[in-house]
Amino acid sequence: MTLPPFLALCACSSHKILTSDDLRSELVSANSYASEMEMFIDYVRQGQATKTFAAAHARQLATEIAHSEQELASTTPQPEDEKAFKSCKGELEFLRRELPVIPTLMGNDSALRLERAKVAASHHQFAATSLL
Amino acid sequence: MKKLLGITLGIMTALGGFVDFGQIVFTMQAGALFGYSLLWAIVLGTAAIIVYMEMCGRVAVVAKEPVFAVVRDCLGFRFGMVVLIASNLLNLITCAAELGGIAIILQLLTGWKQKLLVLLAVMILGLIIYSFKFQWIERTFGLAGVTMCVIAVSAVALHPNWHQLAHGLIPVLAPPKHPLLYFYFAVGIFSALLMEYEVHFYSSGALEEDWTPKDLGENFMVSAFGSLLGALITVGLLVLGAMVFLPRAIFPQTLSTTMIAGAFPFAQKALVLALLGGLACLCGAALETALSGAYNVCQFFNLEWGKNLSPKAVPVFTAGWVAMLVLAFGISVSISRPLTLVNISVIFGMVVMPFTYYPILKVASDKNIMKKHANSKADDITGLVFLVLITIAAAAAIPLMVLTHSGQPQ
C-alpha cells in the first residue's frame, strides 16, 4: 500500500517545483516564440529570406523551443498554475511541430498565409488561457 | 596622403573583433526589452574602451610593455597569475562562443551541419593564423567586418524616432519596469563593449608592428574613431531590437533571429550581406581571442612571442594559440547552446576587467616610465572615473546574473 506513494515521491523528487515567477518567464518566452514565428512567416512571404536561411533558421528556432520544452518537462507547477503550465507546454509543442513546415511552403503564398493564420490563432488562444 | 590612408585603414581595421557574438545578442535583447533607454550604456562603454585602448597602445609604444607584463609587475607574480588564468579562461569561453556563432552563420548560409561547420571553422582559422602575418589577419577581418554597416543602414531605413533615441542618452536610475533586468543589460552592454581581448590584441599589435612615439597620434585616432565606428553599429543593433522586436514582444534568443533584424527593411541580398558581415566579425573575434590567450601567457612569463616570427622561433606562443583553438573547439561542440557561453563570457569579462585596467592606468600615469607621454591631469581624472565605474559594474555583474536568471524576462 505504501509503495505507490513512495514511487510517486521518488518520481517527483527529480522534478523542480516551478515557481509562479519562473512560470511567468516561461510564458513570456513561449509568447515571444509565437510572435517570432509569425514574423518569420511574414519575412518568408515577402521573399526576404533565402531557402537555405529559412530552413536553417527554422531548425535553430525549433532546437531552442525543444530546449525550453525540456526545461519545462523537468519541472512541476504549483496547483494553481496547472492550466497555464499545460497551455505553455501545448503552445511550445505546436510551434516546434509547425516550424519545419514553413521552409517547405516557400513560394506558395496561399499556403503560407494559411500557416500564418493557424499560428496566429494558436498564439491568440495561448495568450488568452495563459493570461499574458 | 599615405599617412591619412594608413589611419583610415587602421580605423576600419579596429572594427575587427569589436562587434562580436556577445555584443550582437546582448544589445539586440536590450533593445527588444527596453527600447532606446539603454543607449547611455553604449556611450559609456564606448568612452571606456577608447580610454583603455588608447592607454594600452601608448604604454605599449612608449614603455615597450605589453599588457600582461604590466599586470605582473603591478599586481605581483601570484595575484597576476590569478588574473592571467581568469583572463585566459575568459578568452577560451569567448573563443568557444564565437566558434559556435560562426557555425550558426555558416549553417544559415550553406545549410550544412553545425558540428561539421565548427570543425571546418577551426581548421580554416588555424590555417589563417599559421600562414598570415599579423597585419594581414588584422586588416582582412577588420575590413570584411565593415559590411556589418548594413546594420546601421537598416536601423536608419526603419526611421527611428530620433527624439526618443536622444532621450536614451540619459540613464534611468530607477526604471519603473524590471529594474534588475535593466541594470543586468546595462552591465552586459558596457561589458560587451569593453571585452579585454580586443585591447590586448590591439596593444600586442602595436608592438608587433614596431610603433614608435611618432605613431601616438595614429594610436589616438584609431582608438577613438575605430571604437566610434563600432559603437555606431552597436547603436544600430539597439535600434533594430527596439524597432523590430519590442513592438512584437519578441525576445531574440537565437543568432539567426538577430540576423533577420539586421537586414529587416531590405531584400535577400542585404540578409546575405549581414550574414557575411557577422561572419567576418565573429571570425575576427575568434582569432583575436585565440591569439590574445597566447600573447597573455608569453607576455606574463617574458617568453618570445610574435605572429610575425616563424612559428618554430616562438614555440610557446604557437602552442598557445593552437591550444586555445583546440580547447575552444572541444567546448563549442560539447555545448548545444553557444548563447549560454556568451552570457558567461560577457558577465565574467566585467569581473576580470578592473584587474587589467588598473595596472595600465597606473603605468600610463607614471612619469618615470612614460616621461612626457604620461597621462595629463584630465587623462588621470577620466581614467579614475572609468576605474570606479568598471569596479561598480564588476561588483554588480554576478549578483545581477543570478537574480535575473541570466537576463530572462518575466
Contact A32 B253 (CB under 8 A): yes
Contact B254 A61 (CB under 8 A): yes
Taking contacts as CB-CB distances below 8 angstroms, the residues of chain A near B337 are 64, 67
pLDDT at A10: 46
In a domain, A41, yes or no: yes
Residue B61 contacts residue B216 (beta carbons within 8 Å): yes
Contact A39 B248 (CB under 8 A): yes
Sequence-distant (6+) residues with CB within 8 A of B173 are none
Q: Which of A25, A28, A33, A50 to mutate to test the interface with B (most CBs of B within 10 A)?
A: A50
Q: Which of B254, B404, B405 to mutate to test the interface with A (most CBs of A within 10 A)?
A: B254
Distance (Å, whole) CA B291 – CA B91: 9
Summarised one tens digit per residue, pLDDT across range B326-365 is 999 999 999 878 888 999 999 999 999 999 999 999 999 9
pLDDT at B222: 86
Q: How many domains does chain A have?
A: 1
Q: Which of B181, B245, B253, B342 to mutate to test the interface with A (most CBs of A within 10 A)?
A: B253
In a domain, A13, yes or no: no
In a domain, B253, yes or no: yes
Residue B197 contacts residue B17 (beta carbons within 8 Å): yes
H/E segment holding residue A77: strand A75-77
pLDDT at B100: 96
Taking contacts as CB-CB distances below 8 angstroms, the residues of chain A near B260 are 39-40, 43, 49, 57
- Nearest by CB: A48 against B104, B110, B268: B268
In a domain, A5, yes or no: no
Distance (Å, whole) CA B65 – CA B373: 14
In a domain, B408, yes or no: no
Angle at B409 between CA B400 and CA B43, to 5 degrees: 60
In this complex, is the C-beta atom of B271 within 8 Å of any C-beta atom belonging to chain A? yes
In a domain, B8, yes or no: no
**Bridge partners, residue A18, by sequence:** A77
In a domain, B410, yes or no: no
Residue B328 contacts residue B95 (beta carbons within 8 Å): yes
Helix (H, G, I), strand (E, B) or coil at A16: strand
In this complex, is the C-beta atom of A85 within 8 Å of any C-beta atom belonging to chain B? no
In this complex, is the C-beta atom of A108 within 8 Å of any C-beta atom belonging to chain B? no
Contact A64 B337 (CB under 8 A): yes
> Other C-beta atoms within 10 Å of A2: how many?
6
Sequence-distant (6+) residues with CB within 8 A of A9 are none
Contact B409 A50 (CB under 8 A): no
In a domain, A43, yes or no: yes
Residue B342 contacts residue B25 (beta carbons within 8 Å): yes
d(CA A5, nearest CA chain B) in Å: 33
Collect the ranges in chain A with pLDDT lower than 70: 1-14, 131-132
pLDDT at B18: 75
Provide the domain limits for residue A68: 18-129
> Other C-beta atoms within 10 Å of B175: how many?
16
Q: How many domains does chain B have?
A: 1
Helix (H, G, I), strand (E, B) or coil at B281: helix
pLDDT at B158: 96
- Nearest by CB: A25 against B257, B272, B405: B405
Model pTM?
0.93
Helix (H, G, I), strand (E, B) or coil at B169: coil
In this complex, is the C-beta atom of B408 within 8 Å of any C-beta atom belonging to chain A? yes
State phi, psi for A77 to the nearest 5 degrees.
-80, 165
Collect the ranges in chain B with pLDDT lower than 50: none
Residue B224: closest CA among B336, B77, B65, B382: B382
In this complex, is the C-beta atom of B254 within 8 Å of any C-beta atom belonging to chain A? yes
pLDDT at B139: 81
Which domain CATH number covers B213? 1.20.1740.10
> Other C-beta atoms within 10 Å of A46: how many?
10
* Cα B288 to chain centroid, rounded: 9
In this complex, is the C-beta atom of B406 within 8 Å of any C-beta atom belonging to chain A? no
Cα-Cα-Cα-Cα dihedral sign, residues B9, B11, B12, B17: positive
In a domain, B46, yes or no: yes
Summarised one tens digit per residue, pLDDT across range B177-222 is 899 999 999 999 999 999 889 889 889 988 988 999 999 998 898 8
Provide the domain limits for residue B379: 14-167+177-403
pLDDT at B137: 86
Contact B252 A36 (CB under 8 A): yes
- Nearest by CB: B271 against A35, A53, A60: A53
Residues 323-362 of B with CB under 8 A from A: 336-337
In a domain, A12, yes or no: no
pLDDT at B86: 97
State phi, psi for A36 to the nearest 5 degrees.
-65, -40
Taking contacts as CB-CB distances below 8 angstroms, the residues of chain B near A28 are 251, 409-410
- Nearest by CB: A25 against B108, B249, B408: B408
Residue A35 has which C-alpha cell? 510572435
In a domain, B209, yes or no: yes
In this complex, is the C-beta atom of A98 within 8 Å of any C-beta atom belonging to chain B? no
Mean pLDDT of chain B: 92
Residues 278-317 of B with CB under 8 A from A: none
Distance (Å, whole) CA A39 – CA B245: 9
Taking contacts as CB-CB distances below 8 angstroms, the residues of chain A near B255 are 60
Distance (Å, whole) CA B167 – CA B183: 17
In a domain, B215, yes or no: yes
Sequence-distant (6+) residues with CB within 8 A of B162 are none
